[in-house]
Amino acid sequence: MSERLLPASPNWYCSRSSDTSPKGVFGFGAKSSVYLVNVTAASPVIAGELKGHRERVSGFAFCRYPGQEEICASSSDDGSVKIWDSQKQATLKEHKAHQSTITSLHWSPVVKDLLVSGDEKGIVVCFWHNRNETQSFFPEPRTIFCLSCSPHNENYIAVGYKDGMIVVIDISRKSEVLHRLRGHDDEIHALAWCPQPGEEELLPRAEETAEAEVANGRKVPDGERGCYLASGSKDQTVRVWSTARGKGVMTLKLPFLKRRGLGVDPTVKERLWLTVHWPHTRPTQIISSCFGGELVVWDLTRSGKQKWALLGSSSEGQNHTRIVFNMSSVCMGESRELLISTSMDRDVKCWDLETLDCCWTLPSLGGFVYSLTFSPVDTGSLALGVGDNMIRVWSTLSIQNRYDTKTFWQGIKSKVTALSWHPLKEGHLAFGTDDGKVGIYDSYSNKPPQISSSYHRKTVYTLAWGPPVPPLSFGGEGDRPTVTLYSCAGEGVILQHNPWKLAGEANDIDKVIRDTNGIKHKLSPHTDLSWKPDGEILAIGNEDGSIEILQAPALRLLCSIQQHHKIINVLRWHHEHGSQPDASHLLASGSNNATVYVHNLKSIIETPSDTPVLVTEPYRSLVGHTAKITSLAWSPHHDGRLVSVCYDGTAQVWDVLKEEAICNYRGHRGRLLCVQWSPVDPDLVWTGGDDFTVQEWAVSKQEHTKPPKGKKSIELEKKRGLQPKPKAKKKKKPAGKGHVAGDQGGRGAEEGASEQEEEQEDVPVKTEHTPTTAAVSKEPRCRQPDAIVSEKNRNGGKGFSFVARESLKDEKQREKQAEAPVKKKKPRSILPLSTSMDHRSREDQQRDCLTLAAVRHSQALPSNCVPGSGAHIQLGLFGDRAALYTMFEEEGRSHIEGGHYESLNSLLLWKGDLAGALQVAIEKGELTEHLVAVSPMAGYQVWVRAVEAFVKQLCFQEQYVKAASYLLSVHKVYEAIDLLKSQQLYREAIALAKARLLPEDPVIKNLYTTWAAILERDGHYSNAAKCYLAADSTYDAAKVIAKKGDVMSLKTAAELALIVGENALSNSLALRCARELLTAQDWLGAREVLQAQESLLGHQLVFCTSELLHQCLAGTKLIDWGSASSHGWTVGSGVPFVDAVAVVWEREFGVSSADVDKVKLLHQQVKSVENPAATANIPIKQLLFHLSHDLTLAVLSSVALARGETVTAMLGALTRCRDATHFTLMRELCRLLLPKGMQSVSSLKAQLDHTDTHSIAAVQSLEAFVCYFQLYEMWWNQSNERPSETQPEKAALPQPSVAGLQRDAQNPSEPAAVNGTGPQDTADEEQGAIPTEEGSDTLEEEPCRSQEAMLASACAVLISETHAALQTTRSVIEEIQLRLSSMMQQHLRAAATPEEQQKELHALPESGSEHEATAASQSGASTAESTSLTSLIASVSEYNKQLAEIPEHIKRYPFPDVIECCLVILHMGRDSASALPEDLQRRCLALLHKYGTAASVIKARHKFCA
């Protein structure tokens, strides 16, 4: 809970969005909440907030029944009506009976549980909340503006409509209309019943009025007592009605009040909101609002001027300054009654109806609170920068008024985003706005602020006072200010303003930084700055997350902090008066990440290095927030105590020295944007955020320590989600009848244009302004909230949806006004002072004749007579030239005071002082095209100076093209180009540069490249490519077109690169395009792309091989073949795939063995392409393309008659399938490459050079894989021929591993499945199973050979002891290495002593023979005997020696798992149907005993081969 807060502004244009309970609790709707205020005559106290609605609160009312005063109700634009317990601040009940927007709400003063509401469709809903019952009435098909329940009859309800109609209904008679009260001709804004029943007291006065004696409803019996009803309407009248007779008895017209010497502006009348209130203790008085915020008390028993009196007339400054929307009252004691009013000026005022004086004022806020700052001179003065285009200065230490605030709005036309008090001058406050303006206010004066002539192009984020730096630091002490003003804005620039000469040009400090430090590169855009309190060190935060520490005044770079990696949002130095020696050198920083870093820069500042130091480690890291850090503040009362605020909606207090969290404040509903520590109370902190509030809270009273995590964070997000959602801006419609006044507060977004601008009679110097910047944003700085809250939501200014509908009467009136002739306004005199003197009395004019005669014909002038000045200014026109010039000077001074500079310029031109006229126009920013056109008459230099000044003026008006044209008139072509470029008008800048500069001028190329970079960043790649081409950056042009990555872009980029001669890039892009087309199986398109590249013939061959491979596999379910865009090439049945591809190549590409050199060159080209190894998760399309690459190498080797390389490439393709664990594809590929099985292998072997050991080893491995498939095929056939068992469904070949055989050991009668899939899974694949004799080609190389001969032949190849030893040794080495790694990890975790390390080491078991040791290492068995780490390493070395003894050509090529083949053979040998040679089984058993001693193999052997 906060100690004190400034709430959000009450909602606007609602008939009853505030009310006061009999116990003195005032509630008002603000945005989507209801704030509760305890009312006393002394001061207000914020009691709490009712949260629950999702959109603007449109109505609020308290229950007045005794004992239930704490019950209240609210309605909202979200369609709900809620019943609340104001003490517990909890929802009791809710209904959503309305289908349209709710416009009015009232709690019956008589029935304790009756709540009545009306909507814009004319529906009246009565809700009895105790019974939870609703009843709807439809008295009139009109839009309801307000309603009120009778305090004397529980069934009577008065309803006011948009068109001026008032009806009184009786809900007990099925909404019977008792009276239709006609008299108003515009919107009914408020209804109020007389607190006293009956009409006797006012009846005599009512009979004296001139109202027509015509009843508007049914005839009332004489015995029925009525009650008076007051109504306020937009037609500027208050009417009193008799409900007994159903007619009006009194009409009160609003008085035209003059304020500050001004009359009533007609447009203000159109924006009028006329609310009325009938005080509880004063039945003869009515209080109403007036045109400009005044409150009028009407005495109904009097007439004439005595009929009304003003509240707050005893002294200035008591009244509201803008229209009043709601009023309610509460009785304090027996005779004292207080009135509470809410207004468009955002103030809530309390009035004493006895004295008619204002008791207190509660200010409120109409926008995001962007900045808070305490004055260093005037202790306790807190300045608030708010998004409603106003500055508040709050005297927080005021004893009499706890909410003593002063508001400043002059000269501000946008959101106030930055504030900074002058460190020495009391009351001087610098401010920065969303539209880039920087100015200085004197808070003790009513004068407009001084505005700097140098505007930022984007939002001002930070202001800081600091010592001057060059060029302002030059000169003596009296020639320059002691401190200057620095501003940092969204475009990344820091400007130094001279507070003595704000009209002068501000300096960009980047030039000083560059010159001092010799920096040539572009500086990162700046986002924040902070001066060390001693004024010697400046810290600058940048968009790239870096922080630069610079030494004043030359701004020498001391160090760069590279800690944050996101945009810097806030920097804060620790105060200088701490007790800790290092505390004054602490710098806290916050960025778009959620961590606050604190750096201790003492050593860097006190002993600076010759070169800048790079800091990468923080002194403290404060972790806990979950979103962007927006502001920081050090406690001036402690050492190292910091408070941070964040987008997570909380404020966190830290003990930096201990790196601990102290407390967390969660009182706000939205994101926090600013924070300040109280300068007088060490326990108080002030925070502001996007919930439109400023809250004061105590550190010691917070129950939370750290920011919310998990569910709490989600709850806060939901809490913020209840806030109104942003709504789109709507263009403001002209005020007039049929439109809600002032567009009902919905003029801008969140805090768009200030509503102060809607009432011109109060602020005559303010002009209508719609800011071009829709939100405060630091692109991408976080001070910009992610969503802009609608002004309509903030002020309750939701325009009624019916305001666009106008009556026929209104349309006719406007047509008549448009047809009426417009009276021409008389032009202003250029000599107003002398002209006014001619309108005096005849006596004075005759005296002037005597004076003029004496001047012209007498030697002695009359006393005190100077013709042309003072009281004789009119005589200057009739005297000599000197008198005329004197008159011109007087008139000129008058024009300056009145701001009529055009008239002043005319006088100076008539006088012949062209240079003076130009100088005045330049100083005041009032140059015109006419003055610039005649300026050459004063000389060339004057003309150039006038043009330059006019260019600057045009830039302020955002007329950049015209400004560039004027620069051309003085031959400043480069300056004109730079101007257009700075405003990102690159098209115009390039056109100008090419028209006026030489073609080889580097400026043209720079324009093209800069524009291209921007276009590329925005995704306009084609236009960017044009710019690069124009700048002769052909490589960049092709790259940027290819950036999109689609086929068309890649193809275009490849063609462009080929045209401009970038062959390497063209090849790369063409390959990318072809790969994309291959993915879509567009073979024709891929070939077309590659054909354009003569150097990519090798890649064309790869794509051709890929297409043929896809075609051959089309019969399987491995791929989805689409032949719509294929070449129609065919591969003959039974022809080896390599030979078939070679035939196609020779026919289509001319590649044959006749040109061996060409084939070798293509082989080298294809081999140079990277072809990574396969993994188990590789997609099938990618695997097929890699296989195509391997097969292309095989075909090229075959064409070149290099048979050894052909075998190696074929083996590589099969190995790739095995590594990818895709054995079905491996089997199909083996069938394609070797269609005749072992006969094909024998044919290859016969063509090899038998002296080439590597080629022989490769063909042996290839032969082994063929035998491997034959072995599994025979196993399947044996399983399928068993008559006693149900034949299993066919499955693909098993995974060649012992682990697969372990699974099969549970059911040895069925072979293993591939990749963990069972027979049922793989049987669905048409080609996934081993084909039968009736199918297509199989791996049988000799159909006539018997099964036994085939099995013996296959086993002879597979049962290789050399490969069994190689595979076992590699397995042992791998196991020992894994064990060593595990032991080292355990050692590092335990960090034990050497003795403890020895206990943890487990050595391999020792045995009498080498093979027994191998078996022990494979099985992983351990014995009680432990060895050292050294013995394990020695074992690895021993096995590596054994591995080295095996020939390299054996180790180079893969081979099927020998142990697995032994297990399969022994399993098949158990069946009597398979006559395996005993010698073969003994060899398999010998190999298993010798090399298959691992635990997994032993287990599989016992179960699989038993």
866-891 pLDDT, tens per residue?
887 888 887 878 888 888 888 888 88
| pLDDT recorded at residue 1227 | 80
| Cβ-contact 63, 69 below 8 angstroms | yes
Q: Look at the block and give the residue holding tokens 């941070």.
A: 644
| Cβ-contact 686, 372 below 8 angstroms | yes
pLDDT value at 743 more than 50: no
Distance (Å, whole) CA 627 – CA 649:
9
- Pairing verdict, β 494-497 and 357-363: unpaired
| Cβ-contact 179, 227 below 8 angstroms | no
Which strands sit side by side in the sheet containing 428-433, from one edge to the other?
Answer: 416-421, 428-433, 438-442, 450-451
| pLDDT recorded at residue 784 | 42
Per DSSP, the three-state class of 355 is coil
User: Which residues 6+ apart lie within 8 Å of 447 measured at CB?
Assistant: none
Stretch 702-712: mean pLDDT:
80
User: Which residues 6+ apart lie within 8 Å of 1106 measured at CB?
Assistant: 1078, 1184, 1185, 1188
pLDDT-derived band at 1466 (thresholds 50, 70, 90) equals: confident
Considering only residues 306 and 333, tell me which one the structure prediction assigns the higher pLDDT.
333
By mean pLDDT, which of 60-64, 1166-1170, 1396-1400 is the weakest? 1396-1400
Stretch 1079-1104: mean pLDDT:
82
pLDDT value at 143 more than 90: yes
State the CB neighbour count (10 A cutoff) for residue 1108. Answer: 25
Distance (Å, whole) CA 973 – CA 977:
6
Q: Phi and psi at residue 921, in whole multiples of 5°?
A: -65, -35
Which strands sit side by side in the sheet containing 672-677, from one edge to the other?
Answer: 4-6, 694-698, 684-689, 672-677
Choose from 93-107, 1352-1366, 1459-1473 the range with maximum mean pLDDT: 93-107
pLDDT digits (tens, 9 = 90+) for 412-443: 999 999 999 999 999 999 999 999 999 999 99
Give the chain's count of helices (H) and strands (E): 42, 57
| Secondary structure letter of residue 758 according to DSSP | G
Q: Is 1323 exposed, middle or buried (0-12, 13-18, 19+ CB in 10 A)?
A: middle
- Pairing verdict, β 556-561 and 613-615: parallel
| pLDDT recorded at residue 1179 | 84
pLDDT-derived band at 1141 (thresholds 50, 70, 90) equals: confident
Distance (Å, whole) CA 672 – CA 629:
9
pLDDT digits (tens, 9 = 90+) for 1261-1320: 777 777 877 777 777 776 665 544 434 333 334 444 444 444 343 343 333 333 333 333
| pLDDT recorded at residue 724 | 53
Considering only residues 1261 and 58, tell me which one the structure prediction assigns the higher pLDDT.
58
Asked if the peptide bond before residue 553 counts as cis, ω within 30 degrees of 0, the response is yes
Q: Which candidate, 202, 206, 144, 199, places its Cα nearest to that of 169? A: 144
| pLDDT recorded at residue 1490 | 80
Stretch 96-122: mean pLDDT:
94
Per DSSP, the three-state class of 74 is strand
pLDDT digits (tens, 9 = 90+) for 611-659: 999 998 999 999 999 999 999 999 999 999 999 999 999 999 999 999 9
| pLDDT recorded at residue 1494 | 73
pLDDT value at 259 more than 60: no
For the chain, percent of residues with pLDDT exceeding 70: 79
Query: How far is C-alpha 288 from the chain's CA centre?
Result: 45
Considering only residues 932 and 225, tell me which one the structure prediction assigns the higher pLDDT.
932
Considering only residues 1442 and 61, tell me which one the structure prediction assigns the higher pLDDT.
61
By mean pLDDT, which of 42-56, 280-294, 1217-1231, 1316-1330 is the weakest? 1316-1330
CA angle 284, 300, 302 (to 5 degrees): 120
Stretch 397-407: mean pLDDT:
88
| pLDDT recorded at residue 463 | 96
pLDDT digits (tens, 9 = 90+) for 1109-1128: 887 887 777 777 665 567 76
- Pairing verdict, β 308-310 and 295-299: antiparallel
Q: Look at the block and give the residue holding tokens 């003490």.
A: 87
pLDDT digits (tens, 9 = 90+) for 995-1005: 999 989 999 99
| pLDDT recorded at residue 275 | 95
| pLDDT recorded at residue 61 | 96
Distance (Å, whole) CA 453 – CA 620:
42
By mean pLDDT, which of 138-152, 643-657, 1156-1170 is the weakest? 1156-1170
C-alpha count within 13 angstroms, C-beta hemisphere, residue 1342? 15
Q: Which candidate, 486, 359, 475, places its Cα nearest to that of 432? A: 486
| Cβ-contact 1450, 1363 below 8 angstroms | yes
pLDDT value at 496 more than 70: yes
Q: Look at the block and give the residue holding tokens 């004489």.
A: 222
Considering only residues 1405 and 695, tell me which one the structure prediction assigns the higher pLDDT.
695
Average pLDDT, the chain: 79
Considering only residues 777 and 1195, tell me which one the structure prediction assigns the higher pLDDT.
1195
pLDDT-derived band at 1333 (thresholds 50, 70, 90) equals: very low
- Both structure tokens of 1252: 């080439």
- Both structure tokens of 817: 């006004």
| pLDDT recorded at residue 790 | 38
pLDDT-derived band at 1486 (thresholds 50, 70, 90) equals: confident
Stretch 546-558: mean pLDDT:
93
| pLDDT recorded at residue 1268 | 77
Q: pTM for the whole thing?
A: 0.53
- Pairing verdict, β 25-30 and 33-38: antiparallel
User: Which residues 6+ apart lie within 8 Å of 922 measured at CB?
Assistant: 945, 946, 949
| Secondary structure letter of residue 785 according to DSSP | -
- Calculated CA dihedral for residues 1335, 1339, 1344, 1347, nearest 10 degrees: -100
Distance (Å, whole) CA 628 – CA 915:
55
By mean pLDDT, which of 51-60, 367-376, 1326-1335, 1380-1389 is the weakest? 1326-1335
pLDDT digits (tens, 9 = 90+) for 1197-1208: 888 777 778 888
Distance (Å, whole) CA 1044 – CA 105:
58
Stretch 833-848: mean pLDDT:
83
Considering only residues 604 and 1344, tell me which one the structure prediction assigns the higher pLDDT.
604
pLDDT value at 552 more than 80: yes
